[in-house]
């Protein structure tokens, strides 16, 4: 494929913007980007509400597996970043245990601690990695940690049973367990808190995570971006796309970052419908809570907290005013929490009650002293929040992605490629960047096709021609 190709990009989230940015960097001008909403950012966007509180669509932080991504972030916001060390915790049995839970079980009551150790000692000796996520959890962490944290937490966050999920996506996303270190931490009373790729992160000083993507969109040629242009029909034979603003565009190649199941439906690709139907997802409720005063001493430096227990509907809460003081109108007078609740057909949510249940959960878990202190509530339901890596996902993707590619459609991004393991902002941007490089330079797309490789650091020093 050469530089004369007419390229149409669907969606102005990190993936679509990444593709447009890289095409422009490489000197390819014949592209156009269509976005359904009135602004860029997609799930990584932010809003500032009427009272002046800023909210992300769930707690977003910047961390990266790629130098290209880091350099771009540096250039986009310059000094306007706040750098933070991750301070994340698990609220369980009426106390905070530092994350990762499995390394810090010394904080548990004696009985539960013993159950966790006993489970670790009697872990089954699996010959090969288990196929399903529940067996993987039990084999890796033992029955005690599975019972107290891993199973209830994962049921909450995915809104799907772990036994229906695959174990193959895990990679660097779940901290492994080293029994010797666990015992050492217990006996020497040590905490181990710096595990993982996101142990330090950065956050925009102003405007939330969405500032990054607004800035990137702003640097692209504005006449090549159409907002409020939602794809409504797609003729894949003639490569003609129709949009809600009445426009019609032809292309040689389509980079689609809209949800894969919707693309198949809109394009009327009946042969691909069964595979598209096998793709599972959960919705996410984001509930922002503005509170008068200052956070309790126990929350002063915390970033986010995980909640595996049933005394709250949320699986995670971020102390969002700790990310940037500008996330609230006046940090000397108020602070903010942002809760996330997952929903699916397997784990329904009563939308009428979810705000009330969240406030009750915040009281029960001592995040707020009283709801009388709450001065602002923000609630948004994201119909598609998490692409769930079920046991049937990979077969479905093997049927879908190459078949679309044969029709000149590159479906990429969080819900475009449906691979949770490469669906953070850095991965998403790079899926767009790599797709552009593939189209213009014939380069391999590592992120979408080799997630384990990029997540284990393989893509960090990739060389890119420009
Ligand atoms: C609760 C939550 C927490 C997260 N936390 C983090 C985090 O801490 N760190 C991190 O790096 N990432 C995080 N993410 C992931 C991050 O949001 C994604 O990586 C990123 O937004 C994916 O970008 P994308 O461009 O692939 O998709 P999206 O952001 O979904 O963008 C797709 C775009 O396509 C548009 N679109 C949809 N349909 C159409 C249509 N028919 N026609 C035209 N346009 C259409 C949408 O409006 C949207 O703008 C989180 C996500 C969620 C939901």
Task: Please give the distance, rounded to the nearest whole angstrom, from the Cα atom of residue 354 to the centre of ligand 1.
Answer: 23
Task: Please give the distance, rounded to the nearest whole angstrom, from the Cα atom of residue 57 to the centre of ligand 1.
Answer: 9
Q: Are 429 and 411 found together in one domain?
A: yes
Is 425 a domain residue? yes
pLDDT in tens, 243-292: 999 999 999 999 999 999 999 999 999 999 999 999 999 999 999 999 99
pLDDT in tens, 138-154: 999 999 999 999 999 99
Helices (H) and strands (E) counted in the chain, each on its own, are: 15, 19
Is 464 a domain residue? no
**Euclidean distance between CA atoms 382 and 37, whole angstroms:** 14
- Give yes or no for residue 212 CB within 6 A of ligand 1: no
Is 1 a domain residue? no
Q: Are 358 and 217 found together in one domain?
A: no
3: which DSSP letter?
A: T
- Give yes or no for residue 302 CB within 6 A of ligand 1: no
Q: Are 246 and 256 found together in one domain?
A: yes
CATH number at residue 296: 3.90.660.20
Task: Please give the distance, rounded to the nearest whole angstrom, from the Cα atom of residue 44 to the centre of ligand 1.
Answer: 5
Residue 147 is part of which domain span?
101-187
184 pLDDT higher than 60: yes
Q: Are 141 and 122 found together in one domain?
A: yes
- Give yes or no for residue 282 CB within 6 A of ligand 1: no
Look at strands 248-250 and 253-256 and give their pairing: unpaired
**Euclidean distance between CA atoms 153 and 296, whole angstroms:** 25
CATH number at residue 22: 3.50.50.60
- The 10 Å Cβ neighbour count of residue 310 is 9
Q: From 359, 388, 417, give the residue that closes a domain.
A: 388
Q: What is the pLDDT of residue 124?
A: 79
Cis before 293? omega within 30: no
Is 412 a domain residue? yes
**Euclidean distance between CA atoms 158 and 143, whole angstroms:** 20
Which residues are CB-contacts of 13 (< 8 A; sequence separation ≥ 6)? 40, 41, 42, 43, 44, 45, 213, 257, 413, 414, 428
Task: Please give the distance, rounded to the nearest whole angstrom, from the Cα atom of residue 416 to the centre of ligand 1.
Answer: 10
Q: Are 272 and 289 found together in one domain?
A: no
Q: Are 151 and 174 found together in one domain?
A: yes
Q: Are 159 and 147 found together in one domain?
A: yes
Q: Which of 220, 209, 201, 205 is nearest to 44 (CA)?
A: 209
Rounding to the nearest 10 degrees, give the CA dihedral for residues 307, 310, 311, 317. Answer: 20
**Euclidean distance between CA atoms 194 and 200, whole angstroms:** 9
Task: Please give the distance, rounded to the nearest whole angstrom, from the Cα atom of residue 428 to the centre of ligand 1.
Answer: 8
Q: From 353, 368, 388, give the residue that closes a domain.
A: 388
Contact 254, 266 (CB under 8 A): no
Count of domains observed in the chain: 3
- Give yes or no for residue 15 CB within 6 A of ligand 1: yes
Q: What integer best gives the mean pLDDT of the chain? A: 94
Q: Are 417 and 268 found together in one domain?
A: yes
* pTM for the whole structure: 0.96
Q: Are 400 and 431 found together in one domain?
A: yes
Q: Are 176 and 244 found together in one domain?
A: no
Q: Are 263 and 124 found together in one domain?
A: no
Kindly state the tokens that stand for 464.
């890119």
Rounding to the nearest 10 degrees, give the CA dihedral for residues 157, 161, 164, 170. Answer: 30
Q: What is the pLDDT of residue 177?
A: 83
352: which DSSP letter?
A: T
Candidate from 9, 42, 84, 226 with most ligand 1 atoms within 8 A of CB, to mutate: 42
pLDDT in tens, 283-335: 999 999 999 999 999 999 999 999 999 999 999 999 999 999 999 999 999 99
Is 462 a domain residue? no
pLDDT in tens, 212-239: 999 999 999 999 999 999 999 999 999 9
Task: Please give the distance, rounded to the nearest whole angstrom, from the Cα atom of residue 25 to the centre of ligand 1.
Answer: 23
**Euclidean distance between CA atoms 455 and 10, whole angstroms:** 26
Is 90 a domain residue? no
Is 87 a domain residue? no
Is 329 a domain residue? yes
**Euclidean distance between CA atoms 158 and 385, whole angstroms:** 10
Q: What is the pLDDT of residue 195?
A: 64
CATH number at residue 153: 1.10.3110
- Nearest Cα residue to atom 10 of ligand 1: 424
Q: What is the pLDDT of residue 73?
A: 97
Look at strands 95-98 and 88-92 and give their pairing: antiparallel
Q: From 341, 372, 388, give the residue that closes a domain.
A: 388
Q: Are 230 and 261 found together in one domain?
A: yes
């Amino acid at each position: 494929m050469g530089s004369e190709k007419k390229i149409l990009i669907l969606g102005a989230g990190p993936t679509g913007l990444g593709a447009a940015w890289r095409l422009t960097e490489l000197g390819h001008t014949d592209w156009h980007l269509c976005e359904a909403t009135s602004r860029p950012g997609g799930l990584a966007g932010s809003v500032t509400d009427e009272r002046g509180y800023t909210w992300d669509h769930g707690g977003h932080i910047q961390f990266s597996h790629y130098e290209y991504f880091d350099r771009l972030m540096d250039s986009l916001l310059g000094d306007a970043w706040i750098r933070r060390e991750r301070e994340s915790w698990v609220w369980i049995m009426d106390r905070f245990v530092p994350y990762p839970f499995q390394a810090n079980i010394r904080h548990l009551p004696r009985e539960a601690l013993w159950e966790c150790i006993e489970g670790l000692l009697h872990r089954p000796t699996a010959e090969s990695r288990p196929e399903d996520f529940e067996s993987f959890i039990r084999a890796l962490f033992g029955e005690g940690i599975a019972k107290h944290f891993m199973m209830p937490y994962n049921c909450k966050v995915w809104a799907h049973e772990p036994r229906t999920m695959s174990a193959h996506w895990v990679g660097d996303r779940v901290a492994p367990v080293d029994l010797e270190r666990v015992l050492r931490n217990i006996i020497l009373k040590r905490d181990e808190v710096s595990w993982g790729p996101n142990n330090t992160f950065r956050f925009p000083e102003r405007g939330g995570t969405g500032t990054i993507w607004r800035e990137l969109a702003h640097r692209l040629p504005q006449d090549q971006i159409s907002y409020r242009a939602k794809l409504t029909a797609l003729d894949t034979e003639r490569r003609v796309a129709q949009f809600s603003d009445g426009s019609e565009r032809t292309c040689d190649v389509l980079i689609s970052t809209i949800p894969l199941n919707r693309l198949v439906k809109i394009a009327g690709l009946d042969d691909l419908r069964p595979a598209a139907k096998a793709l599972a997802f959960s919705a996410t409720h984001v509930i922002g809570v503005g509170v008068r005063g200052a956070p309790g001493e126990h929350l002063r430096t915390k970033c986010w907290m995980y909640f595996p227990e049933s005394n709250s509907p949320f699986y995670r809460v971020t102390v969002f005013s700790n990310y940037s003081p500008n996330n609230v109108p006046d940090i000397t007078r108020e602070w903010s929490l942002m809760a996330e609740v997952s929903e699916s057909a397997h784990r329904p949510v009563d939308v009428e009650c979810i705000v009330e249940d969240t406030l009750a959960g915040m009281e029960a878990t001592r995040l707020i002293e009283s709801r009388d202190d709450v001065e602002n509530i923000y609630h948004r339901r994201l119909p598609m929040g998490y692409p769930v890596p079920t046991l049937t996902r990979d077969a479905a993707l093997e049927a879908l992605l190459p078949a679309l590619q044969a029709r000149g459609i590159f479906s990429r991004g969080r819900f475009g490629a449906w691979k949770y393991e490469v669906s953070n902002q850095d991965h998403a941007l790079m899926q767009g960047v790599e797709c552009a490089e593939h189209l213009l330079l014939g380069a391999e797309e590592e992120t979408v096709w080799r997630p384990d490789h990029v997540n284990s650091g393989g893509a960090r020093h990739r060389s890119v021609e420009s």
